[in-house]
Amino acid sequence: MRIGIPKEMKDSESRVGMTPAGVAELTKRGHEVYVQHTAGENSGFADGEYEAAGALILPSIQQVYETADMVVKVKEPVEPEYSLVRQGQVVFTYFHFACDRPLTDAMMNSGAVCIAYETVQKDDRSLPLLIPMSEVAGRMAALNGAYYLQKTKGGSGKLIGGVPGVLPAKVLVLGGGTVGEAAARMAAGMGAEVTITDISLPRLRQLGMELPVNVHTLYSSEYTIRKLLPETDVVIGSVLVPGDKAPHLINREMLKLLQRGSVLVDVAIDQGGCFETSHPTTHSHPIYEVDGIVHYCVANIPGAVPNTSTMALTNATLRYVVALADKGWRQACKDAAALHRGLNIVDGKVTFKAVADVFGLPY
Ligand code: NAD
């Protein structure tokens, strides 16, 4: 199969759909891989590395889309790419159709086969192509919490891990899923005193067994959050209610329970945020202040570390890319229910119920 790796066109997106290691695996199996000139540059992968792995470099994005039977990307195609997507072409990427009607219409009109990373789902309901980005975002949340505690960054001036004779900072992680666990582990590794909450007791039991001793588990309720806020320095919001907006676990009135210069990191901002005072921010303007509390609400945290994020993403996507390339999309989706659940648009029709429901389209 001919596989195309275009350079991402979305604003400030530095990741790329495949690493040279992924390309090597595909070319070894007899597939042809076409990479757009400088596609991997911002992730730390030069054209020469792709060529050494057997790829051919094409000068323009038009040529990549023209040549490829399957396009492997990171983010959804943006408007200038809509007309490049061809009838019958497989596009494998994050789409998030439900919040983008123009994209949905464009992909229906293209006649392409759109397989969305975010809905590839295993039988145990886990989402294998979302997990790696949550693992990155959780670790980054802890790092950013520590960073913005600095006085020069608007914070209270506390060093996250303390020093001998001075207590460490306290970190509260709301939601103990993939993001929360990664955040707690990173914060604990920096020496903070960490509390992680969830509403699932089995999950809290598991976290209690696996996380280091400076992480304490707590059943989540407004009462317990109110009790903890006065002595908390960093709050990391990482709850997820699948298919719904994030609940507001800290409202504006509760901000006054925190000390000035405390930091809120709202990782759940892509689901509306779990603090009432959150609104999405960008890597160029990541923070703002409300009532003396620093808010960090970047909606694409993994974009700050594209080298690691690209490798983590390819690690997770490659087995599906290989199956699609070896067998063709019909057989690959027949053989793997997880991949079949990723099908969102085929031949001009929406094939994913939640997307059809949002737009009142036939399913
Ligand atoms: P997850 O499903 O693994 O974990 C969510 C956890 O929240 C679950 O354990 C659940 O029991 C818990 N929860 C639900 N309601 C709760 C409540 N009221 N109180 C306490 N806990 C509650 O999800 P995840 O992969 O960890 O993702 C968390 C959020 O982070 C999602 O919204 C995801 O989209 C987002 N995310 C954002 C970025 C970013 O760049 N901003 C990157 C990756 C993920």
For the Cβ of 268 lying below 6 angstroms from any atom of ligand 1, the answer is yes
**Strand pairing class (343-346; 113-116):** antiparallel
Distance of CA 198 to the CA centre of its chain: 20
pLDDT of res. 12: 81
Residue 275, CB half-sphere, CA atoms under 13 Å: how many?
Answer: 27
pLDDT of res. 270: 86
For the Cβ of 200 lying below 6 angstroms from any atom of ligand 1, the answer is yes
For the Cβ of 144 lying below 6 angstroms from any atom of ligand 1, the answer is no
User: Known catalytic residue: 198?
Assistant: no
- Of 5-9, 40-44, 255-259, 281-285, where does mean pLDDT reach its minimum? 281-285
For the Cβ of 203 lying below 6 angstroms from any atom of ligand 1, the answer is yes
H or E element, residue 186: helix 178-189
From 31, 266, 270, 295, active-site residue: 270
Q: How far apart are CA 343 and CA 35, in angstroms?
A: 24
- Here the tokens at position 202 are 């089995």
For the Cβ of 177 lying below 6 angstroms from any atom of ligand 1, the answer is yes
CA-proximal residue: ligand 1, atom 44 (nearest)? 134
Asked whether 265 and 293 are in contact (CB, 8 A), the reply is: no
Q: How far apart are CA 263 and CA 294, in angstroms?
A: 5
Q: How far apart are CA 227 and CA 18, in angstroms?
A: 46
Q: How far is the CA of 243 from the centre of ligand 1 (A)?
A: 11
- Here the tokens at position 292 are 């003396």
Q: How far is the CA of 220 from the centre of ligand 1 (A)?
A: 13
The strand pairing partners of 32, in sequence order, are 2
Ligand 1 atom nearest the C-alpha of 200 is 11
From 37, 96, 216, 248, active-site residue: 96
Predicted model pTM? 0.93
- DSSP letter at 298 equals B
For the Cβ of 199 lying below 6 angstroms from any atom of ligand 1, the answer is yes
Ligand 1 atom nearest the C-alpha of 267 is 41
Considering only CA atoms, which of 266, 264, 250, 262 is closest in space to residue 299?
Answer: 266
For the Cβ of 358 lying below 6 angstroms from any atom of ligand 1, the answer is no
Residue 166, CB half-sphere, CA atoms under 13 Å: how many?
Answer: 8
DSSP E strands in the chain: the ranges are 2-5, 32-36, 56-58, 70-72, 90-93, 113-116, 170-174, 193-198, 215-219, 234-237, 263-266, 287-290, 293-296, 343-346, 349-350
Ligand 1 atom nearest the C-alpha of 140 is 40
Asked whether 39 and 73 are in contact (CB, 8 A), the reply is: no
User: Known catalytic residue: 96?
Assistant: yes
Residue of 238, 249, 264, 282 best suited for mutating to test ligand 1, as the one with most atoms within 8 Å of CB: 238
Asked whether 58 and 37 are in contact (CB, 8 A), the reply is: yes
pLDDT of res. 243: 67
Average pLDDT, the chain: 96
- Here the tokens at position 171 are 């970190």
Per-residue pLDDT band at 241 (split at 50, 70, 90): confident
Q: How far is the CA of 241 from the centre of ligand 1 (A)?
A: 7
Tens digits of per-residue pLDDT, 157-206? 999 999 999 999 999 999 999 999 999 999 999 999 999 999 999 999 99
Ligand 1 atom nearest the C-alpha of 239 is 7
For the Cβ of 175 lying below 6 angstroms from any atom of ligand 1, the answer is yes
For the Cβ of 137 lying below 6 angstroms from any atom of ligand 1, the answer is yes
Q: How far is the CA of 126 from the centre of ligand 1 (A)?
A: 13
Q: How far is the CA of 298 from the centre of ligand 1 (A)?
A: 15
For the Cβ of 180 lying below 6 angstroms from any atom of ligand 1, the answer is yes
- Here the tokens at position 336 are 């793997």
DSSP E strands in 250-352: the ranges are 263-266, 287-290, 293-296, 343-346, 349-350
Residue that the structure tokens 């209690």 belong to = 208
Q: How far apart are CA 301 and CA 136, in angstroms?
A: 8
- Here the tokens at position 178 are 């993939």
> Is this complex's ipTM strictly greater than 0.90?
yes
Query: What's the average model confidence in pLDDT over 282-299?
Result: 96
- SS3 call for 91: strand
pLDDT of res. 223: 98
Tens digits of per-residue pLDDT, 298-318? 999 999 999 999 999 999 999
